[in-house]
Amino acid sequence: MNNDIKQHALLSINRTMPQAGVRVVACSGEIDDDTACLLRDALRVDDDGSRFIVDLGAVTFLDSSGIHVLFAAHRDTVAAGGWLRIAAMTPATREVVQIVDLPTVIPCYPALAQALNA
């Protein structure tokens, strides 16, 4: 399993690969204009693959900057033949995600295990 940790005062991101070719990007804290660049970097398509699950289970705040990163990452992963899934949203993030109708574009799952097995 490969761990890659990125941190900012308001956001921590831990990338793991629990299954071959699938990267889980677990976020903890706030995703806003100041921290969205960390998420963008963590979701960058590269030689290691283009299949991602974004675990939002510990995210306390998500604004339009984070939503924009998720939409762009979805576009990039699909263009590379991969996919992006979202898992384990908190009530606060779920509300924002539903307002912008993100689940109609990116599959969302109540738990990480469900996203991994989909």
pTM reported for the whole predicted model: 0.92
Residue among 25, 83, 33, 32 at smallest CA distance from 56: 25
Q: Can you tell me the mean pLDDT for 91-117?
A: 95
- Partners of 27 in the β-ladder: 13
**Helix, strand, coil abundance in the chain, percent, nearest 5:** 35, 35, 30
Structure tokens belonging to residue 116:
């991994």
Question: What integer pLDDT is reported at residue 46 of this predicted model?
Answer: 86
pLDDT tens readout for residues 24-77: 999 999 999 999 999 999 999 987 779 999 999 999 999 999 999 999 999 999
- Structure confidence at residue 2 (pLDDT): 54
- The architecture in CATH of the region 4-117 reads 2-Layer Sandwich (3.30)
Number of helical (H) and strand (E) elements in the chain, helices listed first: 4, 6
Sequence ranges of the domains in the chain: 4-117
